[in-house]
Amino acid sequence: MTDKMCMVVSEGTFDKAYMPLIMGTTAASMGTEVHVFYTFFGTGLLKKTAKPKLPGIYRLFTGMFQKKMKAVGIPSHDEMMKQAMDMGVTFYACTTTMGLMGIKESDLKPGVKVLGAASFLKLANESKTTLFIG
Amino acid sequence: MSKPWEKILLQKDATLDAKGLMCPMPIVQLAKKIKELKSGQVLELLADDIGAKEDVPAWCSRTGNTLVGTEEEGKVFKFYIKIK
């Protein structure tokens, strides 16, 4: 049976956006089944229009940072999410947050699923590892 | 891999050049590349990300592929991976 790994993402800044993608694609490369659950401010990262910025005043340097990442082969947030999905990583939006923040299912990137806490906890219970990114 | 006879044994079937790429891209590309290869073939992976030094052996032990040799040439690490 393949190992499972879960991640919870609760923040929507650039750094919190990339961490689950880096960990997720790496784990998928190592044959692990990966599930990433986005809640609170993390949920906005799953929107089609998502353009995450670095936290605080560092947000001004986001473009520069992104250029540097591109130079070392790390794709844009949107591209990397697609790549992760192709590798079998599953992304879930928290239904409660969607309700609270007025995010509709049609606002989400294609391929993103919606999930409640109980279903996520079931996945987490079956996983060897759960990481919290927030 | 310093012994000359071991070098001769390291016949590679393919090379993946991941120089200039940083974690996690060398590992992500490695996982993609091995799908093109057959069991028993040897892939040469070139990387200059310092993290690869530990990451490639970890990836190999986790996925059941065998790291049959490593070499360091200046800043470039060479890994020889036998596909399971």
The CATH number of residue A63's host domain is 3.40.1260.10
Q: Tell if the CB–CB gap between B21 and A25 is shorter than 8 Å.
A: no
DSSP conformation class of B37: S
**Domain segments of chain B as ranges:** 4-82
Instruction: State the pLDDT at residue B3.
Output: 60
Supply the pLDDT for residue A128.
94
The 10s digit of each residue's pLDDT in A85-125 is 999 999 999 999 999 999 999 999 999 999 999 999 999 99
Can you give the pLDDT at residue B6? 58
The structural domain count of chain A equals 1
Q: Which residue range is the domain that position A42 belongs to? A: 4-133
A25 closest CB neighbour out of B21, B28, B62: B28
Active site residue B60: no
Options B10, B14, B21, B23, the catalytic residue: B23
Query: What pLDDT score does B4 carry?
Result: 57
Contacts of A105 (CB under 8 A, 6+ apart): A98, A114
Which pLDDT belongs to residue B83?
95
From the list A26, A31, A73, the residue facing B20 with the nearest CB is A73
Q: Do B24 and A83 touch (CB under 8 A)?
A: no
| Rounded Cα gap, residues A36 and B75, in angstroms | 35
ipTM for the assembly: 0.85
B22 contacts A26? CB cut-off 8 A: no
Q: What is the pLDDT of residue B7?
A: 58
CATH class given for the domain over B4-82: alpha beta
Per the rule left: phi > 0, alpha: psi between -120 and 50, beta: everything else, A92 is beta
pLDDT tens column, A55-88: 999 999 999 999 999 999 999 999 999 999 999 9
Which structure tokens are listed for B25?
């891209």
